[in-house]
A and B are shown apart, each in its own frame.
Chain A
Amino acid sequence: EDQVTQSPEALRLQEGESSSLNCSYTVSGLRGLFWYRQDPGKGPEFLFTLYSAGEEKEKERLKATLTKKESFLHITAPKPEDSATYLCAVRGATNKLIFGTGTLLAVQP
């Protein structure tokens, strides 16, 4: 059964304090690992898709990396506006997105 586990559940950072969020996964026939950002009361906003181990993608202060067992979302020098829930999801042979429970990130000024 495809499964996604995210850690930590919640993370509080000071502005400028870099850190990483973890997404561990098991999936049959990986067809993509996805990162989304979700603000309260909003739908998920697409950030990245990674398809194979070793792949990396960057967008502003965010960088996503992928291995065969996990993905990291690195946040460099975060700002308060980076505060949100970050969701990780995988798509496997079933072609369905399976989501983790997310990491709630709070960046304090």
Chain B
Amino acid sequence: GAVVSQHPSWVICKSGTSVKIECRSLDFQATTMFWYRQFPKQSLMLMATSNEGSKATYEQGVEKDKFLINHASLTLSTLTVTSAHPEDSSFYICSARDHGQGLAGGSFTLYEQYFGPGTRLTVT
């Protein structure tokens, strides 16, 4: 299967500082990458979708000025948490979509979505 990496795997920062998290697709090109957030014992919540070379699309309730997303290449997306506060502490997971074969006669392309190992952010 396809491999997605994240860096760092964990980070502790002081309130008011900014933190950048990198997400890379290692063995495939990902035109679309996703950023999720997961709180303890809860499921993954989509924060934003980014397409290479264009602005990210944020989900309702996610502050785009606080969570800056850059998808500058087909293998790299970054999430910057600006002016972090303790309530931003969470597990952040990126995901990249691989394009599979097209569906004969269909209107969409079959594809899988692979996840990175996650980044644990703690804001003190």
The finding on whether chains A and B are genuine partners in a shared complex, rather than unrelated, reads yes
**A residues near B, CB below 8 A?**
31-32, 34, 36, 41-46, 49, 51, 87, 91, 96-97, 99-102
Contacts of B6 in A (CB 8 A): 43
* Segment of B14-22, B63-71, B74-82, B109-117 engaged in the interface with chain A: B109-117
Interface residues on B, range: 20 to 34
Chain B residues lying within 8 Å of A44, measured Cβ to Cβ, are 44, 93, 115
Is B116 touching A46 in the complex (CB atoms < 8 A)? no
Q: 18 pairs across A/B with beta carbons < 8 Å?
A: A41-B118, A42-B117, A42-B118, A43-B4, A43-B95, A43-B116, A43-B118, A44-B93, A46-B113, A49-B112, A87-B44, A91-B113, A97-B34, A97-B46, A99-B44, A100-B43, A101-B43, A102-B43
Known: A44-B44, A99-B43. A36 touches B120 (CB 8 A): no
Residue A96 contacts which of B43, B49, B110, B116 (CB distance < 8 angstroms)? B49
A46 to B4, alpha carbons, bound, how many Å? 11
